[in-house]
Amino acid sequence: MSAALNFSGRTVLVTGGTKGIGREIAEAFLAAGADVVVCGRAEPERLPEGGGREAVFVPTDVREADQATALVQATVDRFGRLDVLVNNAGGSPDADAATVSPRFVEKIVALNLLGPFYVAQAANAVMQLQDSGGAIVNIGSVSAHDPQPGTAAYTAAKAGLLALTRALALEWAPKVRVNHITTGLIRTESAASVYGEDGGVAVAAVIPMQRMAVPADIARTCLYLASDLAGYVTGSDLAVHGGGELPARYLATRS
């Protein structure tokens, strides 16, 4: 492993790190030598593992500011420091914007925008006092750039997360770097049915890279943005979406 990607002696917090993409991110940092804390509303049957160690789980609803602050404090109490925060918790079921309830909108915005802000704010307070500072990586979505039907609240929240990333990068430099990953279509076991009966084969055909991302693609990008290799990178939006999607007009000419 490159020395720049060796996280031994560093502490990493991954929100929503018990399953799916978050779990892959947590296991990548564990394999790279980091001490890792993950959170969620329910404790998983099996914790993320890597490098012969397990992540530490702290039950947390990041939508609640006091719980977000307690999560960061629990991390520092356990390991004495916090070097990297990955704001991964998020998501939303599709909903019709014309009929969706105010409560639904509030929950989606809280999970995808307010939660990341609450945890980042608490993390920054710790990182600013460390000689080595820290790095925050926000996991965003292509929806922030290219909305899809049924995702109005989610799209608005993710667009806000991108803007928040840039604002925090300005305010918290030079001690704390804040970056954003625009994720595209990601193949996970739980999402396979969303992409059709073929498991996403047809969907992959409209992506220039000819495949959907897998969680490891996002995890490796987190390692880079949190590492010294990205020591001069802050306020960035790194697209990890295989080139996006081919334009509809191009697809129409091929059919």
Residue 219's region, left for phi above 0, alpha for psi from -120 to 50, else beta, is alpha
Q: How many CB atoms lie within 10 A of CB 146?
A: 13
Which residues of the chain form beta strands (DSSP E)?
11-15, 35-40, 49-50, 53-54, 56-59, 84-87, 134-141, 176-183, 237-240
Helix (H, G, I), strand (E, B) or coil at 24: helix
Contact 28, 216 (CB under 8 A): yes
CA 90 centroid distance within chain: 8
Which of 20, 82, 26 is CA-nearest to residue 56? 26
CA distance 128 to 248: 46
Q: Which residue type sits at 18?
A: T
CA distance 206 to 221: 23
Question: Which candidate in 154, 195, 224, 250 is catalytic?
Answer: 154
Has 154 been annotated as catalytic? yes
Which of the residues are catalytic?
Answer: 154
